[in-house]
Amino acid sequence: MSSAPIPGTRIDVGTNAPSRTGLSAVFHGIAIGLLAVIMAPLRFVRWLAEWITWWSATPRRRLMAVVLAALLVSGALVTKTSRLELAYQLAPMERAQTAEASYIPPADVLKALALDHRGFVADMLFTRANMYFISHLFSDRIYNWLDVYAEAILALDPDNPRVYEWASQSLKYGQMISKESLERSNDYARRGIERFPDHWRFYFDIGFNYYIEWKHEDEAERLAMQEKALPYFSIAASLPGSQLDPNFVTELYLQRNDVSMALFHAYLRYWESSERERASLRGRITRYQSAAAATRLEKIEERWKSEYGYMPFGLFETLGPEHDGLPPATWTKMELDGSRGG
């Protein structure tokens, strides 16, 4: 007779077999991992031997291998050296920034120390000021001592227009542009105008700050700043040696429907402009004045180039009537008075 199971009991059939299979799988995986770890160096040695054999097969490959190795070593050394130098430079930077301008004496002391070489000392300070600006341009972009440098340089040599330009530009670029920084920039430009009233760049900088860079709060302020900038642009375009495109000023006045001032600037710098600029000016003259006026300018330009292209246009205008003193087209065909007859 078969005995029936006792109620309440539990029979686990075959639990030992799966347990043995799982353990064997784990041991098998561990063995494979250990074998891979042991074989990895052997595989690397085998690959290295094949690699060396390939690179040493010909003289050309051997030379290339030496060059590549030298480049890798040099690159590693340079990178490490650069990191060390950067670490040494950054370490005392905080202390250096607090004292970077403490060695600039007051203006009266600088004048006394410079003796009769104020221009030379001013140039040395100008060089140091540029180094100061560049060092902060690539770090914190905070220029606490920029005015100190500028004032010291101008106290020694107020007749260097480059210093006024540099101070005007450096105060607004390389940092957050605000109304305060723009007014400080304009202040240096105005000081430059007092010293060099014919320097067009100072007027252009002030106009550019008001017209382009100014952070206006509303439309009324924007229009007011543009109105304030126009006279500076007009003066900058009118001064001798100006490099301001006359089309720029002409277009500004055309946008304000001031055709008379626009045409004034179109004619003012027409003959000192480039070919491209003159073509654009003629297009505006044709549109807002007449095609005949533009054609007349083009004919005058052709005569100037064909007959007197060797002299500036300002001198060409003073030569008198249109055909007086016209040189011959070919000197070999020129007939002198008294050369005819016997």
pLDDT tens digits, 107-116: 888 888 888 8
Distance CA 278, CA 195 (A): 32
**Residue 262 domain-assigned (yes or no):** yes
As to burial, measured by CB atoms within 10 angstroms (0-12 exposed, 13-18 middle, 19+ buried), residue 135 is: middle
Here the tokens at position 29 are 């995986």
* The amino acid at 331: W
- The mean pLDDT of 187-206, rounded to a whole number, is 94
Q: Compute the residue count for the chain.
A: 342
**Displacement of CA 287 from its chain's centroid (Å):** 36
**Residue 95 domain-assigned (yes or no):** no
Here the tokens at position 46 are 């085998």
pLDDT confidence of residue 19: 57
Distance CA 340, CA 342 (A): 7
Instruction: Tell me which of 15 and 234 has the higher pLDDT.
Output: 234
Instruction: Tell me which of 53 and 25 has the higher pLDDT.
Output: 53
Radius of gyration of the chain (CA): 41
Among 200, 110, 193, 89, which residue's Cα sits nearest to residue 155? 110
> Which distant-in-sequence residues (6+ apart) come within 8 Å of 270 by Cβ?
246, 278, 281, 297
**Residue 268 domain-assigned (yes or no):** yes
Distance CA 145, CA 129 (A): 9
Here the tokens at position 158 are 């107020």
**Residue 234 domain-assigned (yes or no):** no
Question: Is residue 89 scored above 70 in pLDDT?
Answer: no
User: Which residues constitute the domain of residue 282?
Assistant: 245-317
Residue 273: pLDDT band by 50, 70, 90 thresholds? confident
**Residue 69 domain-assigned (yes or no):** no
Q: How many domains does the chain have?
A: 1
Distance CA 116, CA 120 (A): 9
**Residue 287 domain-assigned (yes or no):** yes
> Which distant-in-sequence residues (6+ apart) come within 8 Å of 56 by Cβ?
62, 65
**Residue 191 domain-assigned (yes or no):** no
Looking at residue 106, what DSSP letter applies?
Answer: -
Residue with tokens 């670029």: 173
Instruction: Tell me which of 101 and 232 has the higher pLDDT.
Output: 232
Distance CA 185, CA 187 (A): 5
Distance CA 235, CA 193 (A): 12
User: 10 Å Cβ neighbour count for 173?
Assistant: 14
Range from 34-38, 281-285, 323-327 carrying the lowest mean pLDDT: 323-327
Per-residue pLDDT reduced to its tens digit, 46-85: 888 888 888 888 888 888 888 888 888 877 777 766 665 6
Distance CA 180, CA 244 (A): 26
Question: Is residue 336 scored above 70 in pLDDT?
Answer: no
pLDDT confidence of residue 9: 46
**Residue 150 domain-assigned (yes or no):** no
Per-residue pLDDT reduced to its tens digit, 152-174: 999 999 999 999 999 998 888 76
Residue 122: pLDDT band by 50, 70, 90 thresholds? very high
Looking at residue 172, what DSSP letter applies?
Answer: T
- The mean pLDDT of 318-336, rounded to a whole number, is 53
* The amino acid at 272: E
User: How many angstroms separate the Cα of 211 from the Cα of each of 223, 225, 247, 252?
Assistant: 9, 6, 16, 10
Distance CA 124, CA 131 (A): 11
Question: Is residue 330 scored above 80 in pLDDT?
Answer: no
Cβ atoms 149, 104 nearer than 8 A: yes
Distance CA 267, CA 247 (A): 10
Residue 92: pLDDT band by 50, 70, 90 thresholds? low
